[in-house]
Chains A and B, each alone.
Chain A
Amino acid sequence: MNYVPGTASLIDDIDKKHLVLLRDGRTLIGFLRSIDQFANLVFHQTVERIHVGKKFGDIPRGIFIVRGENVVLLGEIDVDKPCDTLLQQVSIEEILEEQRLQQQAKQETEKVKMQVLKDRGLSIPKADNLDEY
């Protein structure tokens, strides 16, 4: 029931399973229990899902309160829809290990890139520094 027709509201999403992507890159899945005017979200039975390649792992987190400004996107999960079988669920340890490796590889390539640029006298500022303006 849309309380305010013609507008978008999170009210209708309450008590439904959602997936939220945060600005730091984390993916949380949980039941959206409460909202407020800033779109701060209260998640229940939250699970943090880490994806590395074709594998993913779930870490149960309990109750999460997400500050609205940190949300990139939020979407309802259709529980009736059949699950994608392309992704393979693995244990938490494994996925964390995979993530670590992935991060490591990324850092190394980044390092090499920066070095190459530096040698040429160029520099690309990191994205997180751009937030300050």
Chain B
Amino acid sequence: MRLAACKAARLPSDMSRTQGERCLPLSLDEDCTLEEEDEGLIEEEDEIDQFNDDTFGAGAIDDDWQEEHKRLAELDERGGLGGGLGLGGGSIGGESDLGGAGGDSSTRLPSSAVHLPMPSSLPSLKFTSSSSGLPPSDVEDRGGGGGDLAESLARFILDADPAIAGVGAAERPGPSPGSSGSSLSVLQGLERSRVLPQPSSIPHHTQPHQHPHHPQHQLPPGPSTSGLPPGPPPSSMLSYQQQQHLLRRGTASMGQMNSHSIWENSMGFGPVSVTPGLVTHMEDSPLMSIIKEVGLPKRPPPGRSDEGQDLSERVPPPRSSSPVIGSPPVRAVPIGTPPKQPISHNLNHQVAGFPRGGPAPPLLPGGGGFRPFFGGPPPPHGHRMGPPPPHGPPNHTPPIRHNTTHLHPQHRRMLTQRMQNRGGDRGRTAGDRRSRDPYSNLMTQKEKEWVTKIQMMQLQSTDPYLDDYYYQKEHTTKLITPQVAKVEHTYRPVQFAGSLGKLTVSSVNNPRKMIDAVVTSRTDDEEKREKQVWNKRRQILYTVEKMYSLLLEVQDFEKRFVQAPEEDREALLEQHKTNTVQLCNSLREKEWDDRVSDEQCVMIMSVRKGKRLISRLLPLLPSPQAAAVVMAIARNLPALAKKDKQDQVLCWLVEPASAVIQSLSSSALTDLLQELQGNEGQLATVLHNKEKGCKAPTLTVNSWTTIDVTRELLSVPSSSLSPPLFTPPNLLSLLSRYVDRQRLELLQEKLQISALSR
């Protein structure tokens, strides 16, 4: 009884097939239309009806035709359907057909909804003209038919696919609230874009009364039950003629299908008009009320995780025994299966004798063809409405989500999208392209989370070495060297037992000492002092050099003067003068002091070169300065003598010194002598040291001092006269030459006193 109306191209095969199988008239039709629209492959497949749900789709997988049969049979009896609408497995892809009902008037819609399925999908329904697989009876003809039949049919259909009912059901103020209302709203939503201007003679009675008992809750899943088949409206909802018409028309518009947004195109067949009014009217339809009465599919029990439910729904193999409610979720489904749309295994608890858990999901992974037996009798939950859609403006009345699992996934998505779109249309501002995209969110949030969850699971692991191929412990490249205790290695020379010495071998670890270098550590003070000393010495040397150069200049002046031409002589003269001045000045310690500084002279003479310098300088110096220098020498004679031990240049000073002495005035001489004598034994020691030159100075000194000395000696009291350490033996004799007898006698006395006192 499936329909001849079904597909033009497929009719033969379909017919043959569908008769044997439990077919979903509505779904089949929907499939046909869908496929045609999508692919244009109508003519291609001959052997296998790929679009027949019973072969591959939900019908094959999910439907338990036996159950359906039972239900329909019950409905049959209850509804008082006349005729032989046997439910040859007439599951009802209700909503698709209903959606396609497209009554010309809104009021007709419900009736059309009721009406249309009948021809193709409800063979069992005893409906006057519609039964027997849609013969080309017109929808209009059915008109009136059995009101009861229509009613029951509508109820059957809508309840069978609560998803449809869910669309737009919220707005309906059905007489009996309940999920039934929602199924009708689903219906409306589905029909929205698919309404065709088909005359629908289905009587529109909003039956206020609902059948309390609705056997048709389990809508056999199938594509037909999906929300919004894009293709031509399910043939079950249309009369055969209409369907044919659509089919013919469909090819023309097929071309548009491929490149357009298929879903939105609303089949592209004929004018599509869905008015909100229509929807509203639909809400009032008896169908909705029926659906409401019957109740919506239940949401999964709160205690369960969604995933658990999903997984359990996906159990491919049939379960002979239904799992106990409350037991841990059955994870017979491999984890790799994506979550399904929110599944409500609802079941209408009002359904009597409902053995199965709920409408089977339309698509099971692995193609399992059995509905999972889930949770035995439906849990006694109240009707649960689906969560409001995630999208849509706040003022959007949240559509009630019913159990859409029996829908073909495509249809389910269309359904949700329609719902979303409707919500979006109401409050949306232009601009967001994605919101306009009717195909967006094909992948639901749950599915995204599921994928993410799997990916995250891969990140966690107790043993990353096993789970992650690329995992490597951090810092594995760091070389782990063996920790060895550091032992002091000092060289100990080999010693043979019984020998007296040690064999020392020079090796890398024990190198032989090549240089005896001793490190002397000095303190800072010592270093400073040493530095100072060195600096001073350098200074003296520097001065000596400077003076020497000047001296040489001066001494060479004569030569140069003679050689120089006339004009240069003056310049030379000038230069000479400056040089001499400079020389004189250099002897002074300080610039402002005219005196020759003793210290400077001493300093200069501490250096050997300095002594030579002085000796050469003395004859050049003016007499006072020369005398001063000599005086300085005399004063510092012992020190000089000491320093001269190494240098041995003091003798050089003798000649010039003697020359100077000769020029000395008497007073100066006495000073000199006093100096000489002042220091005990200085002269003696000096003379002693320098045997060579001692005579000369002694003689000169003596020759000049005899005169003065006699005077001095006489004048100076004898006590004060410090006896010379060493009196030259010839002193007396010398003195005797110069001094007369009296003075000589005095001198003798003095000398004797001094000698005695010694």
- Stretch among A29-37, A86-94, A105-113 lining the B interface: A29-37
Tell whether, in the assembled complex, residue B259 and residue A3 are in contact, meaning their CB atoms are under 8 Å apart: no
Distance to closest chain A CB from B338 (angstroms): 6
Kindly supply a per-residue 1/0 record for chain A positions 51-68, scoring 1 wherever the CB is within 8 Å of any chain B CB and 0 otherwise.
000000000101000000
Within 8 A of A (CB), among B156-185: none
Given A34-B447, A62-B258, A15:B437 Cβ within 8 A: yes
User: Which of these, A31, A35, A36, A37, contacts B439 with CB under 8 Å?
Assistant: A31
Within 8 A of B (CB), among A1-42: 3-4, 7, 9, 11, 14-15, 31, 33-37, 42
Given A9-B452, A9-B455, A45:B259 Cβ within 8 A: yes
Contacts of B675 in A (CB 8 A): none
B336 interface residue per 8 A CB criterion: yes
B459 interface residue per 8 A CB criterion: yes
Is the interface on chain B under 10, 10 to 19, 20 to 34, or 35 or more residues?
Answer: 20 to 34
Distance to closest chain B CB from A88 (angstroms): 20
B448 interface residue per 8 A CB criterion: yes
Distance to closest chain B CB from A109 (angstroms): 37
Tell whether, in the assembled complex, residue B447 and residue A37 are in contact, meaning their CB atoms are under 8 Å apart: no
Complex alpha-carbon distance, A9 and B456, angstroms: 11
B647 interface residue per 8 A CB criterion: no
Kindly supply a per-residue 1/0 record for chain B positions 446-476, scoring 1 wherever the CB is within 8 Å of any chain A CB and 0 otherwise.
0111011011101100000000000000000
Contacts of B434 in A (CB 8 A): 15
B443 interface residue per 8 A CB criterion: yes
User: Which of these, B38, B336, B439, B452, contacts A4 with CB under 8 Å?
Assistant: B452
Contacts of B261 in A (CB 8 A): 45
Is the interface on chain A under 10, 10 to 19, 20 to 34, or 35 or more residues?
Answer: 10 to 19
Q: Which residue of B lies closest to A47 (CB)?
A: B259
Main secondary structure of the interface of B (DSSP, over half): helix
Tell whether, in the assembled complex, residue B449 and residue A15 are in contact, meaning their CB atoms are under 8 Å apart: no
Complex alpha-carbon distance, A45 and B264, angstroms: 13
Given A44-B439, A60-B259, A62-B258, A14:B452 Cβ within 8 A: no
Given A14-B448, A34-B443, A4:B259 Cβ within 8 A: no
Complex alpha-carbon distance, A67 and B416, angstroms: 27
User: Which of these, A3, A7, A31, contacts B448 with CB under 8 Å?
Assistant: A3
Tell whether, in the assembled complex, residue B441 and residue A11 are in contact, meaning their CB atoms are under 8 Å apart: no
Tell whether, in the assembled complex, residue B451 and residue A11 are in contact, meaning their CB atoms are under 8 Å apart: yes
Given A15-B437, A45-B259, A62-B38, A36:B338 Cβ within 8 A: yes
Q: Which residue of B lies closest to A79 (CB)?
A: B433
Given A33-B443, A36-B338, A37-B336, A11:B452 Cβ within 8 A: yes
Complex alpha-carbon distance, A123 and B518, angstroms: 79
Tell whether, in the assembled complex, residue A37 and residue B454 are in contact, meaning their CB atoms are under 8 Å apart: yes
Contacts of A79 in B (CB 8 A): 433
Distance to closest chain A CB from B354 (angstroms): 33
Complex alpha-carbon distance, A15 and B432, angstroms: 13
Q: Which residue of B lies closest to A62 (CB)?
A: B258
Distance to closest chain B CB from A131 (angstroms): 20
Complex alpha-carbon distance, A50 and B639, angstroms: 115
Distance to closest chain A CB from B202 (angstroms): 35
Contacts of A4 in B (CB 8 A): 452, 455-456, 459
Distance to closest chain B CB from A77 (angstroms): 13
Q: Which residue of A lies closest to B261 (CB)?
A: A45
Contacts of A11 in B (CB 8 A): 448, 451-452
B440 interface residue per 8 A CB criterion: yes
Contacts of A44 in B (CB 8 A): 439, 442
B745 interface residue per 8 A CB criterion: no
B39 interface residue per 8 A CB criterion: yes
Q: Which residue of B lies closest to A36 (CB)?
A: B451
Complex alpha-carbon distance, A31 and B441, angstroms: 11
Contacts of B336 in A (CB 8 A): 36-37
Given A37-B454, A37-B455, A15:B448 Cβ within 8 A: no
Contacts of B433 in A (CB 8 A): 79
Tell whether, in the assembled complex, residue A3 and residue B442 are in contact, meaning their CB atoms are under 8 Å apart: no
Distance to closest chain A CB from B36 (angstroms): 14
Complex alpha-carbon distance, A34 and B339, angstroms: 13
Complex alpha-carbon distance, A44 and B439, angstroms: 9
Complex alpha-carbon distance, A60 and B38, angstroms: 12
Distance to closest chain B CB from A32 (angstroms): 9
Contacts of A37 in B (CB 8 A): 336, 451, 454-455, 458
Tell whether, in the assembled complex, residue A15 and residue B439 are in contact, meaning their CB atoms are under 8 Å apart: yes
Kindly supply a per-residue 1/0 record for chain B positions 356-393, scoring 1 wherever the CB is within 8 Å of any chain A CB and 0 otherwise.
00000000000000000000000000000000000000
Contacts of B437 in A (CB 8 A): 15, 31
Tell whether, in the assembled complex, residue A7 and residue B338 are in contact, meaning their CB atoms are under 8 Å apart: no
Kindly supply a per-residue 1/0 record for chain A positions 79-104, scoring 1 wherever the CB is within 8 Å of any chain B CB and 0 otherwise.
10000000000000000000000000
Contacts of B452 in A (CB 8 A): 3-4, 9, 11
Complex alpha-carbon distance, A13 and B356, angstroms: 40
Distance to closest chain A CB from B468 (angstroms): 14
Q: Which residue of B lies closest to A61 (CB)?
A: B258
Complex alpha-carbon distance, A4 and B453, angstroms: 9
Given A15-B437, A45-B259, A62-B38, A35:B451 Cβ within 8 A: yes
- Contacts A4-B455, A79-B433 known; list 4 others, CB within 8 Å: A3-B452, A4-B452, A9-B455, A15-B434
- Could you show 16 A-B contacts with beta carbons less than 8 Å apart? A3-B449, A3-B452, A4-B459, A7-B455, A11-B451, A14-B443, A15-B434, A15-B442, A31-B437, A34-B447, A36-B336, A36-B451, A42-B442, A45-B259, A62-B258, A79-B433
User: Contact residues of A with B, CB < 8 Å?
Assistant: 3-4, 7, 9, 11, 14-15, 31, 33-37, 42, 44-45, 60, 62, 79
User: Contact residues of B with A, CB < 8 Å?
Assistant: 38-39, 258-259, 261, 336, 338, 433-434, 437, 439-443, 447-449, 451-452, 454-456, 458-459
Sorted nearest first, the 5 A-B pairs with minimum C-beta distance are A3-B452, A37-B454, A34-B443, A15-B440, A33-B442
